[in-house]
Amino acid sequence: MITLIGDATPEMRAAAEKTFEFLGMEGEGIVEVEFLDESSMHELNDRTRGVDRPTDVLSYPMLFEILPLKRENYPFDYDEKRGGVMLGSVAICREIAARQAAEYGHSVVREETYLFTHGLLHVLGFDHIEENDRAEMRKAEESIMSGIGVDR
């Protein structure tokens, strides 16, 4: 199970649960979700990545390795109050998501949910630097999105 704290939408909660199911994850995880305006996203991207421009989504994983999400595996990352392992955070720029939704011809809800799913997969260790990794991540994204009925 996964708990989202912050600005998560119902579609993001469904995508998070579907992601855990898709990956066969065990235990309780916690992810922070935040919506930022374009100026704040630009500043965050510059400050944390040295990239002097805004972006659609940023993710900040807290774990180097994903084991079953249990207190004994992550004694320093386990949040007693929320009853789960703190996995990281995902920040989404609403303004860029809205522009991309219009460009791709789908809803803002779909775009924000996709960006969240993309960021969550990064938090869980996925990347898209190599072409085979990109294909694997894309397959996971599409399966998760169609699994919750928010596909293209």
What pLDDT score does 152 carry?
Answer: 66
What pLDDT score does 41 carry?
Answer: 96
What tens digit of pLDDT does each residue of 9-58 get?
999 999 999 999 999 988 999 999 999 999 999 999 999 999 999 999 99
pLDDT at 91 over 70: yes
Q: Look at residue 100 and tell me if it is in a domain.
A: yes
What tens digit of pLDDT does each residue of 50-69 get?
999 999 999 999 988 888 89
Q: Look at residue 49 and tell me if it is in a domain.
A: yes
Q: Look at residue 55 and tell me if it is in a domain.
A: yes
**Structural domain range at position 101:** 2-147
Q: What is the CATH number of the domain that holds 25?
A: 3.40.390.30
pLDDT at 151 over 70: no
15 Cβ partners below 8 Å, 6+ apart?
A: 113, 116, 117, 120, 144, 145, 148, 150
Give the number of domains in the chain.
Answer: 1
Q: Look at residue 13 and tell me if it is in a domain.
A: yes
Q: Look at residue 113 and tell me if it is in a domain.
A: yes
Q: Look at residue 133 and tell me if it is in a domain.
A: yes
The string of DSSP codes covering the chain is -EEEEES--HHHHHHHHHHHHHHT--B-EEEEEEEE-HHHHHHHHHHHH---S--SEEEEE--SS---B-TTT-TTTEETTTTEEEEEEEEEEHHHHHHHHHHHTS-HHHHHHHHHHHHHHHHTT---SSHHHHHHHHHHHHHHHHHTT---
Most confident of 52-56, 71-75, 127-131: 52-56
Round the average pLDDT of the chain to a whole number and report it.
92
The number of residues making up the chain comes to 152
Q: What pTM does this model have?
A: 0.92
Q: Look at residue 152 and tell me if it is in a domain.
A: no
Q: Look at residue 90 and tell me if it is in a domain.
A: yes
